Amino acid sequence: MNTNFKDYNQQQNWLFPPSIEELIPSDHPVRVVNGVIEQLDLSLLISEYSKDGQPSYHPKMMLKVMVYSYMDNTYSSRKIEKAMRENINYMWLSGKQVADHNTIARFRSKKLKTIFKDIFKQVVLLLAAEGLVTLKEVFTDGTKIESMAGRYTFVWGNAIKTRKQKMVEQLEQMWQYAQSIAEQEDKDPTPPDFKKIDKEKVEKTAKKINKILANNPKAGQKQKAKLCYIEKNFASNLEKYEEQEKTLAGRNSYSKTDPDATFMRMKEDHMKNGQLKPGYNVQISSESQFVIHYSLHQQTTDYHTLKLHLQTYQYLYKSMPERVVADAGYGSEENYEYLEENNVEAYVKYNTFDKEHKTYKNKKKATSKDDFHRETLHYNEKEDYYVCPMGQRMEKQYDKKQKTKSGYLQYTSVYQAQNCNGCPLRSLCHKSAGNRTIQRNHRLERHKEIVRQRLTSELGTKKRIQRTADVEPVFAHIKSNRNFKRFTHKGIKKAELEFGLHALAHNLKKKVAS
């Protein structure tokens, strides 16, 4: 039999055994991780360690291993320990030291939790020093990522309000029943105020009702049983609801197994039924597909997150970007006002921009319905009145104000036609019983006009196209290519650190490719 094989002998000794250094290619990503982290100031990380006790693994080594493991799509502390023992790249980074999985987990969850943003910032500044980013312009977008909390462990704010209202109704019914059968000397001329109840009020009211029903032959057994239930459960339930409302802190829901997580509608819907799942609203700002800044939020809508996102950006980099480009999910008066106050050029769509721009671009003729829309009515800015389709002046009646969830105060002017009776266009113009009224937020309209001019300019058109090619591929890479569709740690702080590690790994991979 004719064979032609290379020599194979496991017992062959090396005359000059190779070093690990020689076995790793010069352009391998692990060398990029090593080179970048060697340039960082890790004094904040080192300060997390105590000088007492047994010597710890060097935080620089642990950080290199942790960052590279995320680049390598290895997230489990047990798998990282195994890689440090068997994978030549990890062995080179660690100097052949092997940390156990508990040490790796503690390093990630405790040592990095409070200082990781500083490490991330330093890496971004290194990218800026190399000319890969400028920090002058950012493209902002958000996505929902599911928490590791149980999907059916929900607490709903509206359900708590409903239960408390039912408790009020039952307590009020029992009070009225007790008063209806009470002897004259036991009747209370001043009934309790049931608009807002607490534990003390429930106990006091139940005690008064019990005094009336206890020895009253007219009292029914059913009502006595109801009172017994009230005495036994209402006070403890109220305490529970108050604790739940504190956890909600203005949100509409949270998960019992991860109280920081809010139930949101996800793009990744395994049941295909639009079911809400516990998660976080992840916001990022990117430039040239590098993640410049990231933040996690409990709010379900994007326009409530932009201000907080940029405030943390300013805290991190000690300055604001010169230009922000974002989609219509961020277009609100509060956001426009905030950007203007901080001298940031807003290329942020408002909710009707795409519809307006599409109509203008396609040069479509306005329909008869469009002729009566508020936007098409003539507005006299100098004398502050509108003109209806029949030429009638619509004078301002009053101004009203309202607060948003974030506490921002909005002012709206209300205008009304003088007389719509007998108008031949009334059926097309409006369907209200009286004269037509319209509302106008002057500050918002001013911002929309400025943004409209920016977005329809040559630069604005370019930025709108660039946004979809810059920030959206970042999420696609992290969620699809890296298969990161669910957090593996509970709590918003740990979840933010987890996403930060993914974002840093993304930046370093992008640096390798650039």
- The per-residue DSSP string of 67-133 comes to HHHHHTT---HHHHHHHHHH-HHHHHHHTT----HHHHHHIIIIISTTTHHHHHHHHHHHHHHTTS-
| Boundary (domain end) residue, out of 254, 274, 296 | 254
Shared domain for 98 and 167, answered yes or no, is: no
| 342 domain-assigned | no
Q: What is the pLDDT of residues 241-270, one digit of tens each?
A: 999 999 998 899 999 999 999 999 887 766
pLDDT at 407: 85
For residue 147, give both structure tokens. 């928490």
Shared domain for 105 and 168, answered yes or no, is: no
| 387 domain-assigned | yes
Shared domain for 108 and 165, answered yes or no, is: no
Residues in the chain: 514
Strand partners, 323: 137, 345
| Boundary (domain end) residue, out of 409, 424, 442 | 442
Shared domain for 108 and 160, answered yes or no, is: no
Give me the number of domains the chain comprises: 3
**111 DSSP assignment:** I
pLDDT over threshold 60, residue 23: yes
Neighbours of 328 (CB within 10 A): 16
pLDDT at 510: 95
Rounded-to-integer distance, Cα 68 and Cα 458, Å: 42
Whole-Å CA distances, 241 to 138, 149, 311, 481: 42, 21, 33, 42
| 99 domain-assigned | yes
| Boundary (domain end) residue, out of 386, 416, 442 | 442
Strand-pair category, 345-348 with 323-326: parallel
Shared domain for 242 and 162, answered yes or no, is: yes
Shared domain for 166 and 218, answered yes or no, is: yes
Q: What is the pLDDT of residues 331-373, one digit of tens each?
A: 999 999 999 999 999 999 999 898 887 655 555 544 556 678 8
Shared domain for 30 and 93, answered yes or no, is: yes
Average pLDDT over residues 56-77: 96
| 496 domain-assigned | no
Strand partners, 144: 281
Q: What's the domain range around 422?
A: 360-442
Shared domain for 89 and 169, answered yes or no, is: no
**12 DSSP assignment:** P
pLDDT over threshold 70, residue 189: no
Poorest-pLDDT segment among 59-63, 194-198, 369-373, 505-509: 369-373
Average pLDDT over residues 90-110: 95
| 150 domain-assigned | no
Of 356, 336, 357, the closest CA to residue 348 belongs to 336
Rounded-to-integer distance, Cα 330 and Cα 162, Å: 32
Strand-pair category, 137-146 with 323-326: parallel
| 85 domain-assigned | yes
Planar angle of CA 450, 454, 459, nearest 5 degrees? 170
Shared domain for 107 and 160, answered yes or no, is: no
pTM: 0.88
Shared domain for 178 and 240, answered yes or no, is: yes
| 184 domain-assigned | yes
Of 144, 146, 151, 145, the closest CA to residue 255 belongs to 151
| 414 domain-assigned | yes
For residue 180, give both structure tokens. 């209806």
